[in-house]
Amino acid sequence: MGMPGQADDHQWSQQHLSHYVEGELRPRARRRLDRHARDCVDCGRGIRAMRALVYAVQGLDGLAGVRAPATIFDRARLAGPGGSPPSPQA
């Protein structure tokens, strides 16, 4: 920080960390963030934190093996054939 434009770069980088991790930044924008993050401890850590966050959320698979309840079609069955009259504009 301290040089003109660096504060802008910092704020801009913080706002685009998720896009950066997602690989959605255009090459020029990616280079801008790379350049800034090389010298900015906060943004360098921000990139690592955002990557770790995506990784951790992707690991939220504690529900593997959960089965739908046997009652899932009960209301549809009660509604009878067709459930409701089919829409003519279908």
Partner 1 sequence: MAPSGGPPAPDPADVQPAPDPAETEASLVARAQAGDVSAFERLSGAYADRLFMLLLRLLGDRGEAEDVAQEVMLRAWQGIARFRCQSSYFTWLYRIAVNEANRALEKRARRPDGVSIGAGELQLPASPVDDPSRQAENSELRRALGQALNQLPPALRTAIVLRDVEGLSTQEAAEIAGVSQAAFKSRLHQARLRVRAAIGDEMLVTTGG
Give the binding site for partner 1 (CB under 8 A): 17-19, 22, 24, 45-46, 48-63, 66-69, 71-77, 79, 81-84, 86-87, 89-90
Q: How far is the CB of 3 from partner 1 (least distance, A)?
A: 24
**CB of 7 or CB of 53, closer to partner 1:** 53
Q: Which residue in 49, 50, 22, 17 sits closest to 34, CA to CA?
A: 17
27 or 61: whose CB is closer to partner 1? 61
User: Judging by beta carbons within 10 Å of its beta carbon (0-12, 13-18, 19+), is residue 10 exposed, middle or buried?
Assistant: middle
